[in-house]
Amino acid sequence: MTHPLRLVAVSGGLQRPSKSAALAKHLLDLIAGEVPCEQRLVELGQLAPQLAGAVWRSHLPDSVEQELDAVEQADILVVTTPVFRGSYTGLFKHFFDFIHQDALIDKPVLLAATGGSERHALMIDHQLRPLFSFFQARTLPLGVYATDKDFADYRLQDEALIERARLAVERALPLVELTRLLSTAAAEDAVAA
């Protein structure tokens, strides 16, 4: 029995529409085109009013708790954030501060970011990769970085970027397939028990 993977993307974009959300959606669609998935996009800008003032997870409203649960229960995670002062947004970090430290162990995570120019492209390796290493997640080998000029009406338009996104997903597929097989085996064991 094969069940669809739970594919969750978190966009750290603070506005709507958001280039980070557009990039996340593009990556979700690429993965879903290759493996059966249930897709979910978590837009942190929409959660900001309920999330920003909380200090403890127990203080969060149900709407934020549901999104945290979705991330923790995902089989595959895609994370995108705009670059703000050389790093991810504060709201992005605040959201992941509420994720249980063991919830992402061995979870495949595709890293992506958006920024005004190419000069922030290394942010993926210098900021995002260490954050998800703390969680012991399996950060996928190729990150995707997009600049403002790569978009037209919040859709990817640059062919080189579209190809890089496709290549990032292609290189991730062996780990995604392994995750799917392990998830299916776990579901079958649960049914048998």
Q: How are beta strands 5-11 and 76-82 bridged, if at all?
A: parallel
pLDDT of residue 64: 96
- Residue 177 — pLDDT band, cuts 50, 70, 90? confident
Q: Is the pLDDT of residue 128 over 70?
A: yes
Range of the domain at 14: 5-192
Check whether 182 has a pLDDT greater than 80.
Answer: no
Predicted confidence band at 2 (pLDDT cuts at 50, 70, 90)? low
Residue 184's pLDDT is what?
Answer: 66
pLDDT digits (tens, 9 = 90+) for 153-162: 999 999 999 9
CATH number of the domain that residue 53 is part of? 3.40.50.360
Domains: count for the chain: 1
pLDDT one-digit tens code per residue, 64-104: 999 999 999 999 999 999 998 889 999 999 999 999 999 99
**What is the pLDDT at residue 145?**
96
Q: What is the per-residue burial (b if ≥16 Cβ within 10 Å, else e) of 110-144?
A: bbbbbbeeeebbebbeebbeebbeebebbbbebbb
| Average pLDDT, rounded, for the chain | 91
pLDDT at 53: 82
pTM of the model: 0.90
pLDDT in tens, 135-150: 999 999 899 999 999 9
Instruction: Report how far residue 13's alpha carbon sits from residue 9's, in angstroms, rounded to the nearest whole number.
Output: 12
1 pLDDT tier (thresholds 50, 70, 90): very low
28-77 pLDDT, tens per residue? 999 999 888 899 999 999 999 998 888 999 999 999 999 999 999 999 99
> Nearest 5°: CA angle at 133, between 34 and 41?
45
